[in-house]
Structure 1
Amino acid sequence: MAPQDEPATTDEGFVPLFDGSTLAGWHAAPRTFGSVWPGGPDLAGRADLAQADADARAYPARWEVVDGAIEGFQDPDHPGFGGYLVSDRTFGDFELRLEMRPDWPADTGVMLRRRRDTWHGLQVLVDHRKSGSIGGFFGNGLANFHAVPYVLDVSTGADGTPDGLVLEDPATTLEPMTPDKPARLVRRGDPEAFLAAWRFGDWNRLRVRCVGAKPRATTWVNDVLVAEIDLATLEAPNYDADAVAAFLGRSGHLALEVHDNDPRFGEARWARGARCRWRALEIKELSPGD
């Protein structure tokens, strides 16, 4: 929408973030490296990552609008590198809701309180891949912590085609579910309720509530509680709540993610030709204390 336009507001107070036909209000950014925590080691300075960082800048993820939805995907001519679609505006306390339809596998997510030109922020995971979590959290450059209630895998039909999500068998994991990951959450949803609600290969609703200077963030998928994290009380190696709050500030950008394919996962993280689709993005800004 044009900057001077006043966005429509629903009866519930939500305002659209996507006009359904253009990427107005958003800008693309490559998925590059940064410090592991505020004031900590800077991955961008590591010699072994210099080429990967240069390639990420040269071949960032692509974004386009198709049939009323935002589609994110790796550069088809130079696959393997990721990127973000970042909101031009910043937001403090809010409720966000959207619909998403990721291919399998596609490792994506929604970043909250993101700094504009770095990878730092709190990510709501939409890791629609083996050993992934949907609705858990990752602290991008905030000590790189995982806080997830459960991890997922895919079931397949008789012909080997993926047809649904299941809980992962720990014996086959690509990324172990260690006890500290769910312990970092202050609330965890029922995995069976999530699996019953998830519509594989179809649109699913994500709702996120983010409030506080050291935010508490809560996620629901198809109206089923998934997870809640409190950055004021979180305990994780190298995590400092005061330093993170000062570093991120009271508000930040939103961002959608296309992940790169690192050596550990390869195309198990993002399949060649895979896409994630987003639509019906809308936000309700909240006053502190709401």
Structure 2
Amino acid sequence: MDFEPLFNGKDLTGWSVIPRSYGTIWPGGPDVLDVVTDFPADYAEQAALHPAAWSVEDGAIVGRQQPLGSGYGGYLITDEKYGDFELTLELNPDWPADTGIMLRRRPDSWHGLQVLVDHRHSGSIGGFFGNGLGSFHAVPFALTAQLDSAGNAIGLREDDPATSAEPFTPAKAELLDYAATVDEFLAVWRWLDWNSLRIRCVGERPHVTTWINDVKIAEVDLATLTAPNYDADAVAAFLGTAGHIALEVHDNDPVLGTDRWAPDAACRWRNLMLRRL
């Protein structure tokens, strides 16, 4: 089949705005907000009131916190579900802006597989996080900002374990069927510019592969993945064989605060094209 546009370049037809929510850490498990007690007591109520601001600017979808610096995030989610597919898009995140593309996402909870675009200190781009699927963190490397003499961010470099907020470990890469090196990624990433992301998602328990600027970055197989609190059968039954695709504006959670999403930050997405497989 041919590629079809997910975004018409003019408005958000085919997409819906939903607040950032949490839920169980795995199907049937404890709730995130019961385990991570540093969230405000009225987090869920406030998050529902501040679902991020989504607009179309110069032919691109733009996501920001609502209002700027509020600390609350949200999702822009497709109205349609997708099963097996190949998705291509271009993205341009500010620094820091922790975002991602969710696959097989449920419309009524935070559960789904996230392709990470953690464009922030100790982040990873092109790896995976199991939102509500056991919170596995399957990434090939971790990144941080390269700073100039005045302390301004001017590019990306490998994260330093001594100063990391979320240390990379070999165990995270071992969850992957394929992991690019950090040097392979850094050689093609364009700082504060447009970068292409390609995602291939196939299978009932999906096998997902990512490419950044045509360089293969990571590959994970949810049929064979072994991780704490991850049950392939339970996840497959819970998510089903198709789900929504969603773009993310992250909140400023208790772990990283504004180092996760700067008060005036935005992320931009354009040329979203999908081919059903």
Name the TM tier (shorter chain).
Answer: over 0.9
* Residue 238 of structure 2 is aligned to residue 257 of structure 1: no
Cα pair 1:76 1:273 within 8 Å, conserved:
no
* Residue 28 of structure 2 is aligned to residue 39 of structure 1: yes
Cα pair 1:208 1:220 within 8 Å, conserved:
yes
State the shift of 1:262 in Å.
1.0
* TM-score when normalising by structure 1: 0.92
* TM-score when normalising by structure 2: 0.96
State the shift of 1:79 in Å.
1.2
* Residue 19 of structure 2 is aligned to residue 26 of structure 1: no
Q: Which residue of the partner structure matches residue 6 of structure 1?
A: none
In structure 2, distance between residues paired with 1:159 and 1:45: 41
**Cα deviation per residue 1:67-96 (whole Å; 9 max; x = unaligned)?**
110000101256100100000000000000
Note the residue ranges of structure 1 that are not aligned, 5 or more in a row: 1-11
User: Per the alignment, in what secondary structure is the counterpart of residue 186 of structure 2?
Assistant: helix
Q: Which moved more, 1:69-78 or 1:238-247?
A: 69-78
State the shift of 1:117 in Å.
1.6
Percent of pairs with identical residues: 59
Q: Which residue of the partner structure matches residue 61 of structure 2?
A: 70
In structure 1, distance between residues paired with 2:161 and 2:273: 37
Look up the equivalent residue of 1:137 and give its one-letter code.
F
Q: Which residue of the partner structure matches residue 268 of structure 1?
A: 259
Note the residue ranges of structure 2 that are not aligned, 5 or more in a row: none
* Residue 56 of structure 2 is aligned to residue 58 of structure 1: no
- RMSD over aligned Cα atoms: 1.4
* Structure 1 residues 103-142: aligned runs within 5 Å: 103-142=94-133
**Cα deviation per residue 1:232-281 (whole Å; 9 max; x = unaligned)?**
01011110000000100000000000010012201000001000000000
Q: Which residue of the partner structure matches residue 152 of structure 2?
A: 161
* Residue 73 of structure 2 is aligned to residue 82 of structure 1: yes
* Structure 1 residues 119-268: aligned runs within 5 Å: 119-268=110-259
Q: Which moved more, 1:77-86 or 1:17-26?
A: 77-86
Look up the equivalent residue of 1:34 and give its one-letter code.
G
State the shift of 1:129 in Å.
0.3
Cα pair 2:69 2:263 within 8 Å, conserved:
no
Look up the equivalent residue of 2:263 and give its one-letter code.
R
Which 4+ stretches in 1 moved above 6 angstroms? none
**Cα deviation per residue 1:105-128 (whole Å; 9 max; x = unaligned)?**
000000000001210000000000
**Cα deviation per residue 1:217-241 (whole Å; 9 max; x = unaligned)?**
0000000111000000101111000
Report the count of equivalent residues. Answer: 275
